């Protein structure tokens, strides 16, 4: 959409890489559950002079002059996000998901405090207490799990652990969990022990904003989300909280964790929130979920083990063990066909995260391109054929051609 004439003359080496990536995105299929394609308007907002500005502080209280328009932009983004999620307060400055989560812990906890979070190989995020992450290093996490038989979070077990451990905070909301979260039950358990409730809705935020999944914002103490997954905005994050926690949260973001916010990204967040408030976005979210359901059903028909037996959202984790390959091998076979996926652990995975047993599939990006359930069925047959014929270069190349043909039929809106 941009003509790139200045990069062309100033820095052809950079332009060459941008062009190659544009071609890759355009001709290949994106099934990574956390990725999406932004609109032209979001892309334009990112490429603006707002990147030139320092604006440490908050609206009306900045540590630099010349922030009148920046104040206007931040309040627009905040007002739209509040409306979208029915939030009492929104901080739109977090640079991305992990820094947002770090700010939440900093706001509500002291190092060493007890927290409850879902284990990484059961679908949690690194920043929900994994020992190699700052969260697991600084705070005393106890990890809950999904029930291995059902693939779902066993709330009776969560209650039992919470009552025993008495954490100061309970974290819910996940990276590789395909079912609706029982937010109200989490809140009820937390209230019993006086714990803070923290929801990380990074994956499902767009579906929640569209009213297609349950929204924890009205009753959880604090909620974070990235803005670039199902919400289809720029790479970044926001924190939402109850009015009574405004000072704690805002101070943790700045000066606690961050310096100058990225105002060009905040402008793009505002555009994305505006888009998500439109009725078309509800249709988009519905289609994302319908596509995911169809995908899970098609995999199941072909003998794949979908964790929890299906999906209520935009993603699913498929155990590749009975197909005779690891998640990493499946990822690389599909890469050769022009289909991007991400390897994933399965609950109690006997293999390490670098070479786990499963693959996570998601439908947000293909739905933005306009693919519907009929196309999704075709995509699953390609995936299955690629896995069954993983050693046969000719078969993989033929699939690659067919994938490309479909992708060119459904162009990415911003390309």
Would you count residue 55 as binding ligand DSN (CB under 6 A)? no
Nearer to ligand DSN, 167 or 364 (CB): 364
* Residue 64 burial (CB count, 10 A): 12
Number of residues that bind ligand DSN (CB under 6 A): 4
Two tokens at 352?
A: 């390490």
Q: Largest Cα–Cα distance in the chain?
A: 64
User: What whole-number distance in Å separates Cα of residue 277 and Cα of residue 81?
Assistant: 9
Q: Per-residue string for binding with ligand DSN, 213-232, x by CB under 6 A?
A: --------------------
Q: Which is nearer to ligand DSN, 57 or 97 (CB)?
A: 97
Q: Judged by CB, which is closer to ligand DSN: 67, or 308?
A: 308
User: Is 294 an active-site residue?
Assistant: no
Among 29, 30, 31, 34, binds ligand DSN (CB under 6 A): 34
List 57, 94, 97, 206, residue binding ligand DSN (CB under 6 A): 97
Q: Out of 204, 225, 226, 363, which one is annotated catalytic?
A: 226
The residue number with the shortest CB distance to ligand DSN is 34
Collapse the DSSP code of 163 into the 3-class scheme (helix H, G, I; strand E, B; otherwise coil) and give the result.
helix
Shortest separation between residue 98's beta carbon and ligand DSN, angstroms: 7
226 is a catalytic site residue: yes
Nearest distance from C-beta of residue 175 to ligand DSN, angstroms: 4
Burial class (CB in 10 A: 0-12, 13-18, 19+), 140: middle
Beta bridge partners of 61: 58
To ligand DSN, the closest distance from the beta carbon of 97 in angstroms equals 5
Contact predicate 28/339, CB 8 Å:
yes
Shortest Cβ 127–ligand DSN spacing (Å): 8
Looking only at residues 108 through 127 of this chain, which bind ligand DSN when binding is defined by CB under 6 A? 125
* Residue 74: closest CA among 52, 98, 90: 90
Nearer to ligand DSN, 33 or 266 (CB): 33
Q: Would you call 56 a catalytic residue per the annotation? A: yes
CB contact set of 387 (below 8 Å; sequence gap of 6+)? 320, 323, 325, 330, 333
As a whole number of angstroms, the distance between CA 343 and CA 355 comes to 8
* Set 27, 35, 44, 56: catalytic member: 56
The 3-state DSSP class for residue 310 equals coil
* Residue whose CB is less far from ligand DSN, 125 or 293: 125
Least separation, in Å, of the C-beta of 95 and ligand DSN?
Answer: 13
- 175 near ligand DSN, judged by CB under 6 A: yes
Site for ligand DSN in 124-153 (CB under 6 A): 125
| Residue 222 per-residue DSSP state | E
Q: Is 250 a catalytic residue?
A: no
Smallest distance, ligand DSN to C-beta of residue 125, A = 6
Q: What DSSP string describes 229-291?
A: STT---S-EEEEE-GGGHHHHHHIIIIII-SS--HHHHHHHHHHHHHHTSHHHHHHHHHHHHH
- Least distance in Å: CB of 202 to ligand DSN? 6
Nearer to ligand DSN, 32 or 109 (CB): 32
Helix (H, G, I), strand (E, B) or coil at 306: strand
Q: Which of residues 268-327 bind ligand DSN (CB under 6 A)?
A: none
Buried-exposed string 22-39: b where 16+ CB fall within 10 A, e elsewhere:
eeebeebbbbbbbbbbbb
- List Cβ neighbours of 323 (8 Å cut-off, separation of 6 or more): 303, 304, 330, 387
78/176 with CB nearer ligand DSN:
176
Q: Is 25 in the site for ligand DSN (CB under 6 A)?
A: no
Whether 307 and 317 have beta carbons less than 8 Å apart is answered as yes
Cβ closer to ligand DSN: 89 or 125? 125
Active-site position among 19, 82, 159, 235: 235
Active-site position among 74, 200, 212, 221: 200
71 included as an active-site residue: no
Q: What does the angle CA 318 – CA 23 – CA 362 come to, to the nearest 5 degrees?
A: 20
Is 159 a catalytic site residue? no
Q: Are 403 and 29 in contact (CB under 8 A)?
A: yes
* Residues engaged in binding ligand DSN (CB under 6 A): 34, 97, 125, 175
Residues designated as active site? 54, 56, 200, 226, 229, 235
């Amino acid at each position: 959409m941009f003509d790139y004439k200045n990069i062309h003359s100033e820095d052809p080496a950079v332009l060459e890489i941008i062009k190659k990536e544009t071609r890759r995105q355009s001709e290949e299929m994106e099934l990574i559950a956390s990725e999406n394609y932004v609109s032209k308007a979001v892309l334009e907002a990112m490429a603006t002079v707002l990147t030139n500005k320092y604006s440490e502080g908050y609206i009306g209280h900045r540590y630099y002059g010349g922030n009148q328009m920046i104040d206007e932009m931040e309040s627009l983004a905040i007002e739209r996000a509040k409306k979208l999620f029915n939030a009492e307060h929104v901080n739109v400055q977090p640079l991305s998901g992990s820094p947002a989560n770090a700010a939440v812990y900093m706001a509500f906890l002291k190092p060493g405090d007890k927290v409850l979070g879902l284990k990484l190989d059961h679908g949690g995020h690194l920043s929900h207490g994994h020992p190699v992450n700052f969260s697991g290093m600084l705070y005393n996490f106890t990890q809950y799990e999904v029930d291995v038989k059902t693939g779902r979070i066993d709330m009776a077990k969560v209650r039992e652990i919470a009552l025993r451990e008495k954490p100061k905070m309970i974290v819910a909301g996940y990276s590789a969990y395909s079912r609706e979260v029982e937010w109200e039950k989490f809140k009820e358990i937390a209230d019993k022990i006086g714990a803070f409730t923290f929801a990380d809705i990074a994956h499902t935020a767009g579906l929640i904003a569209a009213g297609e999944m349950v929204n924890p914002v009205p009753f959880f103490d604090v909620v974070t989300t990235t803005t670039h997954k199902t919400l289809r905005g720029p790479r970044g994050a926001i924190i939402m909280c109850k009015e009574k926690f405004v000072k704690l949260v805002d101070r943790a973001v700045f000066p606690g964790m961050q310096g100058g916010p990225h105002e060009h990204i905040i402008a793009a967040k505002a555009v994305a929130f505006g888009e998500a408030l439109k009725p078309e976005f509800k249709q988009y979210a519905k289609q994302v979920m319908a596509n995911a359901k169809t995908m899970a059903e098609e995999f199941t028909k072909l003998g794949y083990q979908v964790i929890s037996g299906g999906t209520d959202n935009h993603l699913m984790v498929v155990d590749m063990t009975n197909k005779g390959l690891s998640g990493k091998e499946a990822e690389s076979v599909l890469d050769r066909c022009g289909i991007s996926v991400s390897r994933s652990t399965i609950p109690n995975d006997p293999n390490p995260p670098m070479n786990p047993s499963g693959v996570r599939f998601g439908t947000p990006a293909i739905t933005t391109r306009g693919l519907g359930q009929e196309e999704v069925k075709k995509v699953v047959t390609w995936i299955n054929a690629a896995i069954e014929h993983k050693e046969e270069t000719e078969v993989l190349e033929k699939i690659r051609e067919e994938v490309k043909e479909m992708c060119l039929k459904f162009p990415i809106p911003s390309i």
